[in-house]
Structure formats: structure tokens, C-alpha cells
A and B are shown apart, each in its own frame.
Chain A
Amino acid sequence: MDLVSNLALGFDVAVTPANLVYAFAGCFLGTLIGVLPGIGPVTTIAMLLPVTFALPPESALIMLAGLYYGAQYGGSTTSILVNLPGEPSAVVTCIDGYQMARQGRAGPALTAAALGSFFAGSVGVLILAAFALPLTEVAFKFGPAEYFSLMVLGLIAAVVLASGSLLKAIAMIVMGLLLGSVGTDVNSGVPRFSFDIPELTDGIGFVVIAMGIFGYGEIVHNLEQEEGKREVFTKKVHGLFPTRKDFMAMTPAVLRGTAVGSMLGVLPGGGALLGAFAAYALEKKVKMTPGEIPFGKGNIRGVASPESANNAGAQTSFIPLLTLGIPPNAVMALMVGAMTIHNIQPGPQVMTANPGLFWGLIVSMWIGNLMLVILNLPLIGIWIRLLTVPYRFLFPAIVLFCAIGVYSTNNNPFDIWMVGLFGFIGYLFIKLGCEPAPLLLGFILGPMMEETLRRALLISGGDWWKAFVARPLSATLLSVAALMLVIMLLPAIRKKRKEAFVEE
């Protein structure tokens, strides 16, 4: 099987009328949610997961993937027009994008973002397709010890590259791992931490955790903040097309952003967010042409580059998920959950056992990116109108779709009580400054880590050293993880890391 025949298979799966509709629905809803400030992609995907349970697995994943990268596109619109990031990875786009909008150049900014995203998305998909096969072959050589060490590395890297306190982030991972251990132990059949509640013997649903912590927790947090005065530049969008000079400036920026985003997207914890920050930082270091508008004052490069980077990263963050079965960020953790519900064990075997699903998903991403350009540029007027919907109409709808969605998965009101409980916990975490994304990663990986740990120690006869350190591949993975931790704990780097996440 070579790349061409694989992609042909992918086109067969992705270009059926039904799957095109689902890809479109995903992109459309994703853009919608991305545009609306205050709901992130994690909440959206959690909210819409129950809807996809009834679909065939290919369609479900195609739609969910569309949601994710659709949100990346939509987020840029809000950043440019309202100076509010529709979702976190669009934070840097605000800086120059909003300034452009204030100067009446919202059109070119939006076009730069959309075209840059499309190019970056296409490149990201190609990288995903090209790297999937070799990486999968590596993954097949992994034993339980290597898998365990890889997950340790993945989790550590995810928190090292994220912002906020390192120790608290690690504690949140452990909390996630512990929550993942609730329910019947697969090995002994003993129900753990279920307090004789029958629903808990099946474990806590990841939809419940995601909706409660990311949905309800965020809503309460948003409501406590003063509704700031927003100046929406809705009427000033005319002349979508950038000038020749704009094109000259943005083309290299798009290329640089794509490269940075693709690379960082693969890293755990990277995804779209880190790519956008790094791309903007890089762009500021590139020499200015004479007479160019400075950064922060409406430079088109400051829009094109991070937007390309976040979209490239959104695509390439599927690489660790699809080849190794390890989610690099919270959104991918939800994808793992979605796959598990459809009885697909994420990991290298997906490609051999479900080639149609694998390649269909990849091809659908490219098609989805194409749809998004169409959705975003000519239809920009609709999205702008959406921005004028006040939050007080939005949040009751989010609460409703969480509650009704979670009920419809099992037809059991117990899940509704659990969402409420995790909503409270989510708000508590926000108040205490504990980033919830690592918890979700830990929760998803928990059962897999326990199983691989059990097997690795069984093979080595209970010897931890022999199980993990005496095996070169596992030892390498673990030392990289340890090295990352040590470096991050050095005071000088800690300071730098703090600065990297604070943009002016």
C-alpha cells in the first residue's frame, strides 16, 4: 500500500454524500462555536459528542474533526472583529488583527487568516498522511513498558509546554488518573471507589467530566466577570481582498507559520495554542521591510502567521493520536473517548484494522479545510451577525445542550447529577488556578497506563528497574521526560516560560 492508493481509499470513504454532509456540519458548527467567545472547542466537542454516538464511526469522527479545525477558523473572526479570542489559540491574532479592523482593514485581515489557515491545513494533512505509516510501524515495536514510558513522557511534555504552575499541573494529571480508576477493575472485576452506586461501577463518563469541568465551570467563571464593553466592527467589513503588497508580506509569513505550527502540533501539549504563540514570536524577529507597519499596530504578518500555525497544529496534533493512540491535548483526549465509544481502540492498529476510517478521516480533513474557506469568506456576514448575540442568551443554551446531551447517552438522570457535581469541581479548579486540561488527559490515559504498567511489571517479575530502565527505548523515553522536568524546574527557564505565555 502506498500513499496514493491509501488516499484513494480515503476519498472513497470521505466523498460519500452522507460523510460530506457530516464534514460540513462539523465545520459549520465548529466555526459557529469558534466565533462565539466564551465556548471553547473542548466544551463544544463534549456537548456534541452524544449527537455523534448514533452515527457510524467514520461519520462521527469526521464530524468531530471538522468541529475542531472549524473552531480554529472561527476563532480568528472574533479576534479580528471584537478583540476577544473566540478560543485560546486565537489570542495572538487579536493583537494585530484588531488593529487592522480598527483601521478599516478587517477584510484583508480575515482573508489573510482564512487563506493562511487553508494553506496550513492542507500542508498539515499531507504531513499527517506521510508520517502516519512510518510512525505506526515504530509503534508496533512497542511493548507495554515502552507504551507506559511514552505515556509518561506525553503527559509530562503536555504540562511542561502548557502555561501555569508545573507542580499543580502534574497534580491535576494524577487527579485525572485517579478519577480514571473509578469503576470496575478490568483485571479482578472488583468495583473500585463506586460506593455501591451501580452507575459508578461503569466508571465516570468522560463526557460528564468534560461537560461539567469545561462547560459549566467555564460558564460560571464567565458570568462572574464584568461584561466588558465590546466594540464590534461589523459594518466596516468591505473589500475582503488584500492588496498586492499585503500578499507579498503575508506569503512568507504563512509559510513560516505553517512550518512552526506543524512541528509544534505534533508535540504533546502543543496542539494549536503553542504553535500560534511561537509563530507570532518568530514573526516579530524577522527583519521588517522598510515602511512596514510595526507589530501591534496592524501588521498583516501578525495575523497570517499565527493563524496558519494554529491550523497546521490542529491537523498535526492528530498524528500522535492516530499512530500511537496517545492524545496530545484535551481535544484529542475527547477524540480518544469518541473512538472508544465506537469500539475503536486508538493506536497503530487503527490503520490496519480500519483503513477506511483512518484514511477517510485524513481526506475529510482536507475537504473540510476547503469547505471552511468557503464558509468563512463569502459567509462572513452571517458570522458577524452572530457576534452581536449577547452571552445571556448563549449560556442557558449551553447548559441545556450539556444536560440533555448527557441524558440522551444513557437515558439516566444520574449523569445529569454528575455533570452538576463536576461543574462545581470545575469552578473550584478555576478559582484555585488549576488548569483542567491535564486532568482530562490523565483521565483518558489512566486505564491504559494501569494496564501497561501491570503487564510490564508482570513480564519483568516485579522488578521496576528491569521493566523500565533496562530496556533502552523505554529508558530513553523516561530520561527525556525527566530531563524536561529538571529543565523546567530551573529558575531561569521558569521565568522565561512565564514570559513566553504573556504577550503584551
Chain B
Amino acid sequence: MKMKSQKDFFSGLLFMGVGIAFAVGSTTYKVGVADNMGPGYFPLLLGILMALLGIAITVQALVLETREGDRIGRWAWKPLFYVLGANLAFGVLLSGLPGIGLPASGMVAAIYALTFIASLAARKFNYLHVFILATVLSAVSYLAFVMLLKSQIPIWPVLITG
């Protein structure tokens, strides 16, 4: 049997997998009966429903004709990597990683890191532009979150502030 829609085939598998995972997970809680529902009742019901939908979508993907096989296409690994990497670096620098003894570097350092890493995802990269952007964003964030909203965000590295 040939796949008629690649996107639907894999979505179907995804839904099936997640549905089964939730359904199996639900049974570790008390399921109960209809007039006395336990914490596992609703998720079990939904997990089964989702697995069934997943099966239907997969079957449909094998049967129904689509234009050019509805292919998933290339993954944009580079933007994905840099955008998520920027997010990760921001979190690590902002509050540190107590688990490995890394102290917090604060908001300003985190913003510069985020801006530089995220900008690598774009096709054009200009150090000066990115530096200016990071500086502007730091100023705006300081104004909005620290001055106006008075968020408890560490601003400078712990090493400096003590």
C-alpha cells in the first residue's frame, strides 16, 4: 500500500501515539465509573478517542488521493535550532543553573545572547545591526519589565551584584 498523503500519515501516527500514551497513563490513576468518575476517567476516554481518530487519519492518508503526495518537505533545522537555542540560552543565563552550580548572569547578558543566537537563524547577519538591536531590546525590556511592571527579574550577573 502506498502513502497518498505524507503529512496525514505521520499526523495520524502522532495522534495514535499520543492517544495511546495518555490512555495507558490514565489507567495508572483511579478510573472509576460514570457516576463516580476518578481522575483517570476523562483522559482515558479522550486518549482512546484520539487513538481512534489517529487510526482514521492514517487510513485516510493511505486511501485518499492528494495533490503531489502532500509531502512534509524539508525541515528548517537551522532556524529551529537557533530560535530554540536562543530561548534556552536566555533561560540559562537569566537565572543560572543551580544544578551544576552556574550562577545567574541576569537579564542584560541574557538579552544579548538571545538576540545574537536568534539572529543567526536569519539569512543575513550583520554584527553591528544585531548589536544595536540587542541594545535597544535591553533598554526596552528594562523600561517595560523592571521600571513599569516592577518584575523581580535579576538584571546584572550575580558575580557583580554579589
Chain A residues near B (Cβ < 8 Å) = 51, 54, 165, 167-168, 170-171, 174-175, 177-178, 181, 185, 187-188, 190, 192-193, 216, 219-221, 223-224, 227, 391-393, 395-397, 399-400, 402-404, 407-408, 411, 413, 416-417, 419-420, 423-424, 427-428, 431-434, 450, 453-454, 457-458, 460-464
Name the residue of chain A whose CB is nearest to the CB of B38. Answer: A188
Residues on B with beta carbons closer than 8 Å to the beta carbon of A402: 87
Known: A216-B87, A399-B83, A411-B151. A178 touches B35 (CB 8 A): no
B158 is an interface residue with CB less than 8 A from chain A: no
Q: Are B80 and A220 in contact (CB under 8 A)?
A: yes
Residues on A with beta carbons closer than 8 Å to the beta carbon of B7: 431-433
Residues on A with beta carbons closer than 8 Å to the beta carbon of B139: none
Residues on A with beta carbons closer than 8 Å to the beta carbon of B53: 167, 170-171, 174
Tell me the total A-B contact number using a CB cutoff of 8 A. Answer: 190
Known: A178-B22, A396-B133, A420-B88. A168 touches B46 (CB 8 A): no
**CB<8 Å pairs between A and B, sample of 24:** A175-B15, A177-B46, A178-B47, A181-B42, A181-B46, A192-B26, A216-B84, A223-B79, A224-B76, A396-B119, A400-B114, A402-B87, A403-B90, A416-B90, A423-B87, A424-B84, A431-B73, A431-B75, A454-B42, A457-B37, A458-B35, A461-B35, A463-B34, A464-B34
Q: Are B114 and A399 in contact (CB under 8 A)?
A: yes
Known: A178-B46, A393-B133, A400-B141. A424 touches B86 (CB 8 A): no
Residues on A with beta carbons closer than 8 Å to the beta carbon of B18: 175, 178
Q: Which of A221, A454, A458, A461 has the most CB of B within 10 A?
A: A454
Q: Are B57 and A168 in contact (CB under 8 A)?
A: yes
B94-114 interface bits toward A, Cβ cutoff 8 Å, 1 = contact, 0 = none: 110000000000010001001
Known: A171-B50, A416-B90. A192 touches B8 (CB 8 A): no
Name the residue of chain B whose CB is nearest to the CB of A176. Answer: B46
Give, as a whole number of angstroms, the nearest-CB distance from A439 to chain B. 11
Q: Are B50 and A175 in contact (CB under 8 A)?
A: yes
Q: Are A432 and B42 in contact (CB under 8 A)?
A: no
Instruction: Tell me the complex Cα distance, A331–B40, Å.
Output: 30
Give, as a whole number of angstroms, the nearest-CB distance from A184 to chain B. 9
Instruction: Tell me the complex Cα distance, A185–B50, Å.
Output: 20
Residues on B with beta carbons closer than 8 Å to the beta carbon of A427: 76, 80
B161 is an interface residue with CB less than 8 A from chain A: no
Residues on B with beta carbons closer than 8 Å to the beta carbon of A420: 84, 87-88, 91
Residues on B with beta carbons closer than 8 Å to the beta carbon of A424: 80, 84
Name the residue of chain A whose CB is nearest to the CB of B48. Answer: A174
| Those of B121-147 within 8 Å (CB) of chain A | 121-124, 129-130, 133-134, 137, 141, 144-145
Q: Which of B39, B57, B119, B130 is the one whose CB lies under 8 Å from A192?
A: B39
Name the residue of chain B whose CB is nearest to the CB of A432. Answer: B11
B62 is an interface residue with CB less than 8 A from chain A: no
Q: Are B83 and A220 in contact (CB under 8 A)?
A: yes
Q: Are A396 and B34 in contact (CB under 8 A)?
A: no
Q: Are B56 and A167 in contact (CB under 8 A)?
A: yes
Q: Which of B25, B35, B75, B86 has the most CB of A within 10 A?
A: B35
Instruction: Tell me the complex Cα distance, A223–B137, Å.
Output: 20
Give, as a whole number of angstroms, the nearest-CB distance from B18 to chain A. 6
Instruction: Tell me the complex Cα distance, A417–B89, Å.
Output: 10
